[in-house]
Amino acid sequence: MIEKPRSGWRVAPNMPAYEEARASFSWAAAEHELAGLPGDKGLNIAHEAVDRHCLEGRGGRQALRWLGRHGERKVITYAELSARTNRFAQLLAGLGIRPGERVFSLLGRIPELYIAALGTLKHRAVFCPLFSAFGPEPIRARMKIGDARVLVTTSALYRKKVAALRDALPDLKHVLLVEGGGEPGTEDLQALLARASDAYEIGATSPEDMALLHFTSGTTGTPKGAIHVHQAVLSHHVTGALALDFHPGDIFWCTADPGWVTGTSYGIISPLTHGLTCVVDEADFDAERWYRILQDERVTVWYTAPTAVRMLMKAGDELPRRFDLGALRLIASVGEPLNPEAVLWGQRALGLPIHDNWWQTETGGIMVANYASMDIKPGSMGRPLPGVVAAIVRRLEDGSVEQVDEPDREGELALRPGWPSMFRGYLHEEERYRKCFAKGWYLTGDLARRDKDGYFWFVGRADDVIKSMGHLIGPFEVESALLEHPAVAEAGVIGRPEPVIGELVKAFVSLKEGFTPGEALRRELLAHARTRLGAVVAPKELEFVPTLPRTRSGKIMRRLLKARELGLPEGDTSTLEAPA
């Protein structure tokens, strides 16, 4: 246990007493912290994140500090961000895009990504971020499901990953290229912005209007598009205050890419609703660069991922001692379980423990956390946010659930619906959404336990979704790409534990007649998957097998593949297909 001081904080935590905060908290009361649209026209995320600060006299504050990969630096104030996002909203209006239609981004961490996100929300269209490292197939699948009308991207990404998909995306009417480029069937974003007015009045926005569409991988079938509404901004704002302990004047750095839900909820929305200055680094991970950013930008609150923490640990304890990290007040982590050694390493090497927290694409915001004022049990996810009711449940044969009240009993982590950022559905998949709920609980699919002090501990996934470098990867999507290769008869994909990235994607492949296993074919299949899926999703290892274990109904038993790979007990094999 890492005990926190009860007095003498450099900055007093927003939640000094957890139990008192839980007892007195209500979402209705918390809503008064938001401004709402002028004229009582509802609630809009972009207004809370940008325009209200300008109306309240804070337009001169720095909103974004962008650091280019080659040493470039741009500072954007709240007033400048308001004007630029107004132009983007006007641009959408000029293109005939209606509220509720989907605007996708396929961009690295550049200013245009943040302008597109907030401008889309101002226009009451739906912002749908894509990770720029995705290959063509994940991009096609997500844009098809999301009925993409607009895509904002770069010339290089368009040529490499999107141009060949246009015929498969008939609803995609506008592709806006950040730097122009003259690609056939595209438009010059900068030219359109230059012609647009920087005055824009946000229309009436219901808190239940769709605002964000975030994709998450499933174990079977296509990716799922989780729908989030404008009311989610209340969760983003509250969790920023309570879980990340935001204070006025903080310099905040969220290292997550906005192509994922963390990078949108906490890399854009939450810190901006608090009027903070957000550091945005375009470059990829580099330990020395990261420490220099923490030092030079005087970062006070830092939100990162366990994979990044483990990579920093690998770089050694001496490196951070070369930098002045004295401005740091709180370090938090999310994406996968943070091992206890990492928490203790933070205390030793950085002078601060790392606060793990837990949430999902579906929850939209932090649900369980280790708070600034709370003692930390290294390895624990922490305790539920005020306003969030969490429990451990056990699924029953009739499809219902029962609550597990005894401490330290494993079961499925469940949440009582009602927090503002809870997803409102999976786009076009109502039945898939309904299956997430039982007896008044949202079933997270994560196995966990709760100890006698009310701390929750992550145990594992109840399904086969792979967590690698903080990303959720659906095995079905990887298997489908492998099956496109003419040599592959069947494929099964698992996550193999790996100490730095969490899980490594491993594929098991059986070949069609006429093809022979060998190193050349193995490399060819890995390259094929990488081309189709991108480096993040594609398997890193591939093993040839004569056949794959299947149930009698034909479903690949990934659980059995994983047990055999790791030398674990195989468990119940009564449904296993009899060998031929």
**Distance (Å, whole) CA 380 – CA 376:** 8
The CA dihedral of 42, 44, 50, 56, to the nearest 10 degrees, is 10
pLDDT above 70 as % of the chain: 96
In this prediction, residue 461 carries a pLDDT of 72
Amino acid code (one letter) for 278: C
Residue 309 per-residue DSSP state = H
Look at 25-34, 182-191, 330-339 and tell me which has the smallest mean pLDDT. 330-339
Residues 6+ apart with CB under 8 A from 301: 244, 245, 246, 250, 251, 252, 253, 328, 329, 330, 331, 332
Strands across the sheet containing 425-426? 187-188, 174-177, 148-153, 102-106, 126-130, 210-216, 224-229, 425-426
Lookup result for tokens 């300008």: 54
Q: Which is the CATH superfamily of the domain at 466-566?
A: ANL, C-terminal domain (3.30.300.30)
**Distance (Å, whole) CA 264 – CA 278:** 12
Higher pLDDT, 410 or 507: 507
In this prediction, residue 261 carries a pLDDT of 94
Look at 50-64, 326-340, 401-415, 473-487 and tell me which has the smallest mean pLDDT. 473-487
Phi, psi dihedrals of residue 178, rounded to the nearest 5°: -55, -40
pLDDT over threshold 60, residue 475: yes
pTM of the predicted protein model:
0.86
Residue 57 CB neighbours (<10 A): 8
pLDDT over threshold 50, residue 138: yes
Q: What is the pLDDT of residues 476-510, one digit of tens each?
A: 778 888 988 999 988 899 999 988 888 999 999 99
Q: Which residues pair with 357 in a beta bridge?
A: 369
**Distance (Å, whole) CA 155 – CA 137:** 18
Residues 6+ apart with CB under 8 A from 217: 223, 224, 465, 472, 473, 474, 476, 477
Q: What is the pLDDT of residues 433-450, one digit of tens each?
A: 999 999 999 999 988 999
In this prediction, residue 203 carries a pLDDT of 98
Contact 245/371 with Cβ under 8 angstroms?
yes
What mean pLDDT do residues 510-531 have? Answer: 94
- Residues 335-364 as b/e (b if ≥16 CB within 10 A, e otherwise) read bbbbbeebbbbbeebbeebbbbbbbbbbbb
What mean pLDDT do residues 401-429 have? Answer: 95
Q: Which tokens is 170 given?
A: 């008939």
**Numbered ranges of CATH 3.30.300.30 in the chain:** 466-566
- CA-based torsion, 486, 503, 110, 216: positive or negative: positive
In this prediction, residue 579 carries a pLDDT of 46
Closest CA to 370 of 455, 460, 269: 455
Q: What is the pLDDT of residues 221-280, one digit of tens each?
A: 688 999 999 999 999 999 999 999 999 999 999 999 999 899 999 999 999 999 999 999
CATH code given to domain 18-447: 3.40.50.12780
Residue 218: pLDDT band (50, 70, 90) is low
The chain-wide mean pLDDT, for the chain, equals: 92
Q: What is the pLDDT of residues 61-73, one digit of tens each?
A: 999 999 999 999 9
**Distance (Å, whole) CA 406 – CA 452:** 8
Contacts of 425-433 with CB under 8 Å at 24 or more apart are 425/226, 425/227, 426/224, 426/225, 426/226, 426/227, 427/145, 427/146, 427/213, 427/225, 427/227, 428/145, 428/225, 429/224, 429/225, 432/218, 432/221, 432/224
Residue 555: pLDDT band (50, 70, 90) is low
CA 480 to chain CA centroid, Å, is 23
Contact 266/242 with Cβ under 8 angstroms?
no
Residue 9 per-residue DSSP state = -
What mean pLDDT do residues 199-204 have? Answer: 97
**Distance (Å, whole) CA 427 – CA 148:** 12
Helices 287-296, 306-314: inter-axial angle, 10-degree rounding: 110
Residue 258 CB neighbours (<10 A): 28
**Distance (Å, whole) CA 202 – CA 380:** 42
In this prediction, residue 574 carries a pLDDT of 38
In this prediction, residue 572 carries a pLDDT of 47
pLDDT over threshold 60, residue 580: no
Contact 220/210 with Cβ under 8 angstroms?
no
pLDDT over threshold 50, residue 460: yes
Phi, psi dihedrals of residue 255, rounded to the nearest 5°: -80, -10
Residue 93 CB neighbours (<10 A): 18
Lookup result for tokens 């094999």: 573
Lookup result for tokens 């954007």: 76
Lookup result for tokens 């050349």: 520
Amino acid code (one letter) for 400: S
**Distance (Å, whole) CA 138 – CA 131:** 10
**Numbered ranges of CATH 3.40.50.12780 in the chain:** 18-447
Closest CA to 212 of 303, 93, 105, 320: 105
Burial of 161 (0-12, 13-18, 19+ CB in 10 A): buried
Closest CA to 422 of 242, 217, 212, 255: 212
Helix (H) or strand (E) holding 80: helix 78-94
**Distance (Å, whole) CA 266 – CA 264:** 6
